[in-house]
Amino acid sequence: QCDHERVRAHAVKVAIFGGGGFIGSAIADRLLQDRHHLRIFERPRVEPFREFSPGEKVEWVTGDLMSVHDVSQTLDGMDAVMHLVSTTLPGNSNEDMVYDVETNLVATLQLLGAMVAKGVRKIVFISSGGTVYGDPVYLPIDEKHPTEPRVSYGVTKLAIEKYLLLHEHLHGIKANILRVANPFGERQRVTTGQGAVTAFLSRALQNQPLEIWGDGSVTRDYIHVSDVADAFARAVGYEGPKSVFNISSGTGTSLNQLIGILEEVLGREVARQYRPGRAFDVPVSILDNSLARRELGWEPRVSLREGMARTAAWIQTT
- The residues assigned a catalytic role are 153
CB 112 within 8 A of CB 120: no
Amino acid letter, 118: K
The answer to whether 227 and 186 have CB atoms below 8 angstroms apart is no
CB 196 within 8 A of CB 220: yes
- Going through the chain in order, the beta strands assigned E by DSSP cover 13-17, 37-42, 58-62, 80-83, 122-128, 174-180, 182-184, 210-213, 219-220, 222-224, 244-247, 253-254, 272-275
Q: What whole-number distance in Å separates Cα of residue 245 and Cα of residue 180?
A: 8
Residue 77 and residue 74: Cα distance in Å, rounded? 9
- What span, in angstroms and rounded, lies between the C-alpha atoms of 318 and 307? 17
